Amino acid sequence: MKIISPREFVDVVLIRQYEDGTMLSAATNVEHPLCPPQANFVRGYNYPCGCFCIPLPGEPDRTQLLSFFQTDLGGYLPQTVVDSFFPASIAGFYSNLTKAVKALKA
User: Angle at the Cα of 99 (from 96 to 102), degrees rounded to 5?
Assistant: 150
60 touches 53 (CB < 8 A): no
The span from the CA of 7 to the CA of 14, in Å, is 22
- The boundaries of the domain holding residue 101 are 7-105
Query: Which pLDDT band, with edges at 50, 70 and 90, does 1 fall under?
Result: very low
**Would residue 1 count as lying in a domain?**
no
**Would residue 57 count as lying in a domain?**
yes
Domain count along the chain: 1
Query: Which pLDDT band, with edges at 50, 70 and 90, does 3 fall under?
Result: low
Residue 5 amino acid letter? S
Structure-derived torsion over alpha carbons of residues 51, 52, 56, 61, reported in degrees to the nearest 10:
60
**Would residue 90 count as lying in a domain?**
yes
pLDDT in tens, 21-57: 899 999 999 999 999 999 999 999 999 999 999 999 9
Q: Are strands 71-72 and 45-46 parallel, antiparallel or unpaired?
A: antiparallel
Higher pLDDT, 40 or 1: 40
The CATH number assigned to the domain holding 16 equals: 3.30.530.20
**Would residue 46 count as lying in a domain?**
yes
Percentage of the chain lying above the pLDDT 70 cut: 95
**Would residue 2 count as lying in a domain?**
no
